[in-house]
Structure 1
Amino acid sequence: MDSVLSRVEQALDSLRPYLATDGGNVRVAEITEAGVLKLEWQGACGACPMSPMTRAGLEDTVRKAVPEITAVEAR
């Protein structure tokens, strides 16, 4: 069975081309014992006013692919 991290990375990889279009990316900072995925915005995503909406889309995609993830936080 794939690890949680590898499945999270696969889900994020499906979204990274869209982030890259605007000069951004996202990195997994941590997955807590409680299943909270903590992401770090990179590039243009760090200052983008749309990042809360983008985070919601990332959360939806990741939680569908990896049900063990209970929440997504981005910084």
Structure 2
Amino acid sequence: MSEANETIEKAVIEALAQLRPFLEQDGGDMELVEITEDKVVRLKLLGACRDCSMSAMTMKAGIEEAVKKAAPEVLRVEAVEPV
């Protein structure tokens, strides 16, 4: 992994760590799956977040906004289905 990608990953992980308590408060969580070469952050929503009708809004308005603020290089954040 290049140094630039490591820096992006650290920033993304830090942003997610700051958001995690809010998700956990409602019985949910998230897991970083990957950051693609084209700077797309892929997350797996867990627990209550997985089935919540508000998860799309949480993803766009909360998680994506915080991730992009911490790592402006990120183009978007998307959810992947749990396996």
User: Which has a greater percent of helix?
Assistant: 2
Q: Distance in 2 between matches of 1:3 and 1:63?
A: 13
Shift, 1:6, TM fit: 1.3
Q: TM-score under structure 2 normalisation?
A: 0.84
> How many residues matched?
75
The answer as to 2:70 corresponding to 1:65 is yes
| Cross-structure match for 2:57 | 53
Q: Distance in 1 between matches of 2:27 and 2:51?
A: 11
Query: Which one of the candidate residues 12, 31, 36 is aligned to 2:35?
Result: 31
Q: TM-score under structure 1 normalisation?
A: 0.93
Query: Which portions of structure 1, spanning 4 or more consecutive aligned residues, are displaced by more than 2 angstroms?
Result: none
- 1:32-55: per-residue Cα shift (whole Å, max 9, x none)? 110000000011111111100100
RMSD: 1.3
Shift, 1:30, TM fit: 0.9
Structure number with larger C-alpha Rg = 2
Question: Where does structure 2 lack aligned partners over 5 or more consecutive residues?
Answer: none
| Cross-structure match for 2:17 | 13
Find the residue that maps to 2:53 and give its secondary structure.
coil
